[in-house]
Every structure is written in C-alpha cells, then in structure tokens.
A and B are shown apart, each in its own frame.
Chain A
Amino acid sequence: MRKIVTSLVAVAALGGSSFAADFLAPVKTKSDLSKLTASSVELKGLKFETVYLYPQTAVAGNDKESSAKFASAQALKADVAVLVNERDFSVVVKWKDSTNSLQTQKDIKSFGDGVALQIPQNCSDPAKLPYIGMGSEGRPVTIMLQKNTQGYYAPTVADLTDTQANNNLNLFNDELKKKQEKVAASATAKYQKVFVAEGFRSTTEVKEQTGYTMDMKYNKGSWTAVFTKKLKDDYSSLSSVAGKDAYPAYGNEAEPVKGAVASFCDAEPIALAIWDGGVDGRDGTKWLSSWTPIKMKDSEKSKKAILEISAKVKGNVANGKKLASENCVACHTIGSVKAPENMAPNLNNVGGYSTAAYLRDSIIAPNDVVVPGLNANRSPMQFYAVDGNGKRVSNMPSFEHLKPAEIDDLVAYLQTLKAGVKK
C-alpha cells in the first residue's frame, strides 16, 4: 500500500492541472446540442476539467486473458466539459488511448473502445447516491453507452422468429437479393445505447431512445466522445420545472414536480466509465470515475452538495490503515492482502471511485448498498444472503460501534486506496 500512497504524492507534485475537479461548471450555449458531434466546432476552445477514472477492481470477471492484461492498470485521466442550452445537456469527454480498438463482425475476440455516462435518477440526497457500479437497488441510474463497433445486426423480436425458428431460406435471385438487402438494412451502424439499472445485473435497455445522441471519434492517440440528452426525460431530470425548459432561469427553487420521475438537483452528479478494447475491456473491465457534481445552479444547496460529493475526509490515515487491518481485511482484499474469494468486494480502488459519504455509509449501514457479485449460486460465502422475500441482505455486519473519529480515520485511509495515474 505504501506504493500507492507514494504515487499519489507524486501526482500531487505535478501541480494544479492534474488535480481532479471538485465540480464541473456547465457552459451555456445557444447551439443545437442534439446535433453536437465529436467533431463539432463547439468543442474548440472549450475549457475542460480533469476527472480521474480508476480501474474497476471491486468485482473481477472470469476471463483469464483479459484479467491478466488489466491487472496492472493505472488510473486514467479524462478531460471533461459540460454544455447546456434550453433543452439539452451535453457532456464531452476526452482521453488518451494508444490503440483504436474496434469490435468487428469477423472476429469473436475483438473488443471496441467505449465510454459511458452515468446519471443518478434521484440525487436529492448527495450522501445517498446510487452505487457507482451501475446503481443499486432502490437507487436507479440512467446510462448512456457508446462503443466502437463495426455495424452489427441487432435482432428485433420479429427478426428473431425469422432467424432462429425458421429453416433455410428458399429464396433465389431477386427475392434473395431483397432479403439480403433487408438484413443489411437492419444493421445498426453504431453501438449507442441507453440503459437504466439498479445494479449491474439489472441493466435494461431503453429501446425508445428519443432525445439521446452520442458520438465518439479517434484522432492521434486520443478519443473525443460526446453525450447529449434532454435536460428532462422519463428517467432523470436536470431541469427544475416540468414540461418547461427552466434552465435559463437557473432553476427556481424547485418544487418536486408532480409525476416527474426524478428530482432536479442544484448539483447534478455524473460518473464516467471508459473501456479499452486493447485489454479486452468490456463490462466490469473498465475505468470508473467517482460521482462528479455539475454545478447546475449557484446556490447554498449546490455548494453543500458539492462539498458532500467531493469531500476528502481529514483523518489519521495510518490509524485508518491499522483499523482496516483489524476490521476489514478478513473479508475484503486490500493491496496484496488477499481475502477469501467471493467474500466481499475488493477494495483496491475503492478510494478512486467512491464518495466519502458512500464509504462512511458502507461501514455503518452495509445494507444500504449491496454490491451485486457474480456467481449467484455461490453459498454460503457471498457478498450477501438472500432473505425470505428474495431480497439481498449484505453479509457484512455494521461497524457503527467504531468511534466517529475512528470512522473518519478509516474513511480517510480508504480514500487513499486507488491506483496511480497513467503517465
């Protein structure tokens, strides 16, 4: 662990520009953001803030080759900017990637580079945001995901009957040509999807994708990606008034909108995930940022929320480490101290993609967020037990018996658990 702490100090020494931003400031524009692409002129001269993404190591996948390639992954630096107009909101992300990886139609082991934007559906309590890994039960998120793929054929339900259940096509000449054209036309040019989720097993695609646009472009060793969505949609609300575009007013102190799915927050948290096809990255083999607030409105409320979401806890890290070795490592892997497999999430990068509030909450009330692991039939050693109602209950006991100062120390230590930054 000494190594990780040292590398952090090294990063700090690089100077201000390398520090992660506490919040992102949206840039107002009159441009039609729904037409924004990774090549748009609007991106020129835009001020970018730094967001760090850390290798997801809480739950490991079972692909031997990919795990080996990903094992020594360092943190990834991304430059992020936010644009808003009266209707839409765009997030622009730039990051370095030495390889332009494409998932092709001709290979079964090619994986495309990709990037995702995650938005909580409810951010009214910044201390109880969804779990960073695609939300958690009762705390849903909306995810916009784009990947670098060659066009592929997404079977619709009607096509399924055609391709799965029927026998060979008895078609020739013109008829066959027509059929082939129909099949070709059903190819999706790009992988751009919107999901809603309450934990990674529940991820569900939003098929009626209106008001979402995405684009990503590779140029000279780095990717630029844009995500645009309406400020308000069925799943999240970045605007304060229902039906109207209230953004220009910078949000009247919003009353919760009747019938609206989500609440408007003065500070709207977003999180990013980045995949590198070069390490066979997909799903959990990714880099993940912590929740990063966008200051949608300059208010006391937003100041408080930003403070909560970006908090660095002051505590005695050395004592926190000692407490962790006494209380945590029997179940959680930390550094090179390996806990039994599948006992609890690995904590090696937990400081990189968690808010202090989440860490604190996980110590005191482990049941608030139960991380969904793989291997659901595994018992009894699992992150959770399933109660009589089919609900997952964490197997971790509460550590609220620790003194408040000790919890501070522990959280301060856990915040140091993260990989160094890729140079």
Chain B
Amino acid sequence: MTMTAINTTSKRQLAMVMDLNKCIGCQTCTVACKTQWTNRNGREYMYWNNVETSPGEGYPRNWQNSGGGFDKDGNLKEGVIPDLEKGYGTPWDFNHDEMINAKEFKSKQAPIWGPNWDEDQGAGNFPSDNYFFYIPRLCNHCDNPGCLASCPRDAIFKRSQDGVVLVDLDRCQGYRFCIAGCPYKKIYFNPRVSKSEKCIFCFPRIEQGLPTACAQQCVGRIRFVGFLDDEEGQVHKLVKKYKVAIPLKPEAGTGANVYYVPPVDGPVKFDANGKPILGSNRIPPEHLEALFGPEVHAVVKTMRAEMENKKNGKGSEILDLLIAYKHSDMFRLDNDYYKAIANGNLRPIDERYTAGKFTSFKAVH
C-alpha cells in the first residue's frame, strides 16, 4: 500500500447555481431528495437538501455558529456536532391509534426542533420592515472540503472527474470529526450503520446525463447545474463570466461549489403611517454580507443595473439566462464526457463509494 496524497483536487468541477430571487420555499427539492435518498435506514433525520428561512436558525439549528472550516491561515477550525433532538430534530410520530378512541390528536413526544421550524419568521417588525427570504442548502462539494481535511481515516474523497465529494463508506469508522469540520453542517452521522453520510450530488443520475433530483424537480426553476469549465454553460456564465453567483460563507475557506444569486430587492419599507418608503429595501446589506461575504454588494449592484437595462429595453443576457427557459440549457451535464469515462459501462465511473478505496491492503516489507 502506498500513501498517496489525498485526492483533493479535481480536473473538472461540477457546480450548481441557485437564484434566490426565485425561490418560493416550496420544499419540492427537499422532498425530491428525501424520497430519493434519506427516508430510510437511519437517515430519517437527515435532509441532504433543505430549504431554510433567512434570517433564521436554520437546519441544523444554529449551523452558522457551529464552527468548522478553516481560519485565515488555513488551519482547521474547531466545530461542534449538533444535537440530534435539539439541533436537527427527530421525526416524531403522532397518536394515530388513540385517535380512534376520540383522543386528542397529538405528537407522541414533544417536538423540540425540526427542519424548517422557524419558517417565514424572518426578522424586523411587522408591518414596517420585516423581511425574510429562502435559501436552499446542500453539500457544497468544496474545493478544499472541511470534512475531508478533518477525517483522520482519509475516508472522504473528491472525485477527480467532476469534483463530487463522497464518503468512502468502507473506510469510514464513524468518528464524526467531519461533522465538526464542515462549516455548513452538511454531513451527517447515520447511527444505524455508524458511518457518516452526505449529499452525493445524485452522481448516479448525473452520470446518466440527468441533473440532481433537487434541481430537476425545482418548480421555481432556480437551479442550474453544470461544469464550471464549460464556457457555453449557464453555470460558467453566472459564476465566472458575469460573477453574479457567489458561494455561501466564503470566509470558511473551503471553496464551495454551490453558488447563489443573492436576493437583490426585497419589498420596500413602510413608514409610521403605513406608506411605502420609495427606494428602500427591507433586506439589510449587512445580512447579505454575513451570508455571502463582501462580494455580495457588487453582485447586487450588477443585478440592479441589469434589471434597469432590461426595464429600459436595452436587454440583459444575465436576466434572460436567469429566466431559465429550457432545462437543456440549465442542466449541461456533458454526458459524452461521462460516457467516455464509463466506456459503455453502467456502473459508477468511480467505484470507491461502493467498493472502498483501500480495501486491499498489501503489507510492505
């Protein structure tokens, strides 16, 4: 066995862009993911994809302040493992049987917290300046994943073909340092198999040319999926060319590959008499900066200018693109690329996820 350097860099990188201006918080993505991957076998509490209300405590509760990621110097920052009941919330059962006997309908245990618990609460004062928006979150398939860096077993790997970050379930021994290490708290511990599990970017779908389930099902058509280096792709255009899509919590230093077009204009504020204050915006720039870093201000400026252009009949490629006319443009998965790697094989292009990376050990003497 040789100790090769960890596979942390990839030749190509898959990425996702989400236009938060269009997210209606319907949770169709959440359900698409849940029914596909996490409704069974110890994953019941996990939401590989969730939509939360911002500002809010989110899922798991208070993930923004739960540590992980890297400091300025690139050192691992300490993090915490969220509590199952108080942090994630366990799916609770209702007393269906007792209802037959005309008992009050209620949950069997007192619900403490759950995903989307603080839906639509937001911040500010109703009706003058309250505000919120939705933010769907999934694993960011980072360039330098905090989970990977903190795994003492080298059980997390980044696929060189497309940058998808996966847990090698054969190597994983359930130590959970990855959970502390992820600044997004998007890797979960499955207590039934004693392993960590996370969003797999629907790689079995992706390899067949289909987008992730969350993107495919999105009714608001807010999600774009493609390779960052595909210059014809909308993902590349939004992220690299026009720079209007930016990652969440860039200060975590992980190089996230899920990008967001930030909410540009909320409704205007009302004055004491209930009259709209023209030109005002309920979403404080500081709140956006806390989520997306200082870059967000330039993005908002660009987006406003583009909206103005569109209004004035000057046209805007960015806005045309964000309208998301065709799935075929929104999802460019380069199936020829995968087909070439797979060489006509239906199996995953990289079998480490199912087979284990170092399963055969050869002693060296």
**A residues engaging B (CB < 8 A)?**
61-65, 67, 103-109, 121-122, 137-138, 140, 149, 152-155, 157, 160-161, 163-165, 167-169, 191, 196, 198-207, 235, 261-262, 282-284, 341-342, 372, 374-379, 381, 386, 390-392
Contact = CB atoms under 8 A, between A and B. Distances in A.
B177 interface: yes
B149 A376 contact: yes
A202 B79 contact: no
Interface string B1-25: 1111110100000000000000000
Contacts of A137: 3, 364
Contacts of A203: 153, 171, 173
Contact of B191 (A108, A157, A342, A386): A108
B111 interface: no
27 contacts: A62-B177, A63-B79, A63-B81, A64-B180, A67-B78, A104-B191, A105-B42, A108-B176, A108-B188, A137-B364, A140-B363, A153-B42, A160-B169, A163-B41, A168-B35, A198-B1, A198-B3, A204-B1, A261-B365, A375-B70, A376-B148, A376-B149, A377-B8, A381-B73, A381-B74, A390-B2, A392-B3
A247 B171 CA distance: 35
B256 interface: no
A100 B192 CA distance: 20
B3 A202 contact: yes
Nearest to A162: B41
Question: Which 9 pairs, one residue from A and one from B, show the smallest C-beta to C-beta distance?
Answer: A64-B78, A201-B154, A204-B361, A63-B180, A108-B189, A375-B149, A283-B175, A376-B6, A152-B194
Contacts of A103: 191, 194
A340 B294 CA distance: 29
A105 B45 CA distance: 13
Contacts of B76: 62, 342, 374-375
B273 interface: no
Given A104-B191, A155-B169, A283-B177, A61 B150 contact: yes
A68 to B, nearest CB: 9
A290 B81 CA distance: 31
A176 to B, nearest CB: 12
Contacts of A390: 2-5
Given A198-B364, A261-B363, A341-B75, A109 B81 contact: yes
A363 B271 CA distance: 72
Q: Is the interface of A mostly helix, strand, loop or mixed?
A: loop
Contacts of A283: 152-153, 173, 175, 177
B305 interface: no
A62 B180 contact: yes
B16 to A, nearest CB: 21
A379 B75 CA distance: 9
Given A65-B81, A204-B171, A378-B74, 7 more contacts: A62-B177, A63-B80, A63-B81, A105-B42, A201-B152, A207-B359, A376-B5
Contacts of B149: 374-378
B272 to A, nearest CB: 45
B79 A64 contact: yes
A207 B150 CA distance: 25
Contact of B363 (A163, A196, A199, A201): A196
A198 B154 CA distance: 13
A49 B258 CA distance: 57
A152 B192 contact: yes
A105 B192 contact: yes
Contacts of B39: 168
A63 B177 contact: yes
A404 to B, nearest CB: 31
A196 B181 contact: no
B84 interface: yes
Contacts of B67: 64
Given A140-B363, A202-B1, A377-B8, A163 B40 contact: yes
B105 interface: no
A140 B362 CA distance: 10
B40 A200 contact: no
Contacts of B337: none
Contacts of A204: 1, 171, 358-359, 361
Interface in B158-183: 169-171, 173-177, 180-181
B220 interface: no
B26 interface: no
Contacts of B249: none
B77 interface: yes
B193 interface: yes
Nearest to A111: B176
A383 to B, nearest CB: 13
Contacts of B78: 62-64, 67
B150 A375 contact: yes
B2 to A, nearest CB: 7
A341 B74 CA distance: 10
B144 interface: yes
A200 B153 contact: yes
B355 interface: yes
B341 to A, nearest CB: 19
A137 B5 CA distance: 13
B175 A282 contact: yes
Given A235-B363, A374-B152, A106 B176 contact: no
B267 interface: no
A269 B35 CA distance: 52
A120 B35 CA distance: 47
Contacts of A284: 152
A148 B177 CA distance: 19
Nearest to A104: B191
B5 A386 contact: yes
A65 B80 contact: yes
A107 B191 contact: yes
Given A168-B35, A198-B1, A202-B3, A342 B75 contact: yes
A205 B170 contact: yes
A53 B80 CA distance: 27
B329 to A, nearest CB: 28
B191 A106 contact: yes
B36 interface: yes
Contact of B177 (A61, A157, A207): A61
B338 to A, nearest CB: 17
Contacts of A200: 152-153
A263 B180 CA distance: 41
Nearest to B36: A167
B204 interface: yes
